[in-house]
A and B are shown apart, each in its own frame.
Chain A
Amino acid sequence: MSDFLGIHGTALALREQRLQLLSANLANADTPGFKAQDLDFTSALQSALQPNAANGDAIEAASTGARFARPSSQPSVDGNTVDGEREHALFAQAALEYRASLTFVESKVRGMLTAITGQ
């Protein structure tokens, strides 16, 4: 099944991982000492698509490996590195990217359904 979805199934799962990290950043915008985390999507996708990667764990491992702490443009006294507005913009962008991946997966599924039902 994952072969059938091609790159899009993996991409969708990784985009969800990124959305989770960004939501955790926004949630902790007022937590002292919290360091904003982000996911390097390109390198995560590359390592998840390695031929020797195990199927279910590959996404987990790739997203953990591609995490990095994003430095803040404005240092704050309490050590928190979350920029509210920037995080907002990134979340909106990431949600849009998720939607794009979802559309690709969906059109694959539709194509398969058409082939199965023959209508």
Chain B
Amino acid sequence: MSNLPIFDVAGSAMNAQSVRLSTIASNLANADSVAGNPDEVYRAKQPVFRAEGVPGDASLAGVNVVEVRESTDAPLKRYEPGHPLADAQGYVYAPAVDPVAQMVDLISASRSYQANVEVFNNAKELALSTLQMGR
């Protein structure tokens, strides 16, 4: 039996999906963080996944998070002269985060995470039964 690359594969996928969940949490948490300057506004983050060979077997694809990219969408400009952070013209800038899209992404990420946990548990059970052979 090999050195169980399924665990590497499922583990890398769980890691990638948890990075995705963290960025979504960060995006949702900062959806209302306004700033008085368009350059200082929070920008939505999104991880970029790429299939990459696992250590034991280069032809078997695990998931690697290549980078976490920041959104280039222009911040939303709101006229709120009473806001303490408003600039000289009375505008504040809010990040261009779409909470609905983020929630959809959140569900997708947690489903994928669950699928990989299931794969992991299944593989673990099979490996244990194989190790106990003949007892």
Main secondary structure on B side of the interface with A: helix
Task: Decide if A84 is an interface residue (CB 8 Å cutoff).
Answer: yes
Task: Decide if A109 is an interface residue (CB 8 Å cutoff).
Answer: yes
Q: Which of B10, B20, B122 contacts A27 (CB 8 A)?
A: B10
Residues of chain A at the chain B interface (Cβ within 8 Å): 13, 16, 19-21, 23-24, 26-34, 37, 64, 84, 88, 91-92, 95, 98-99, 102, 105-106, 109-110, 113
Would A91 and B60 count as touching, CB distance under 8 A?
A: no
Would A30 and B112 count as touching, CB distance under 8 A?
A: yes
Q: Tally B residues with Cβ within 8 Å of A.
A: 35
Would A23 and B119 count as touching, CB distance under 8 A?
A: yes
Cα-based distance from A92 to B115 in the complex (angstroms): 11
Residues of chain B at the chain A interface (Cβ within 8 Å): 1-2, 5-6, 9-10, 12-13, 16-17, 20, 49-51, 57, 59-63, 108-109, 111-112, 115-116, 118-119, 122-123, 126, 129-130, 133-134
Cα-based distance from A26 to B9 in the complex (angstroms): 9
* Extra A-B contacts (10), CB below 8 Å, given A13-B1, A16-B2, A99-B129: A16-B1, A27-B10, A27-B12, A27-B61, A27-B63, A27-B119, A30-B109, A31-B50, A31-B51, A88-B118
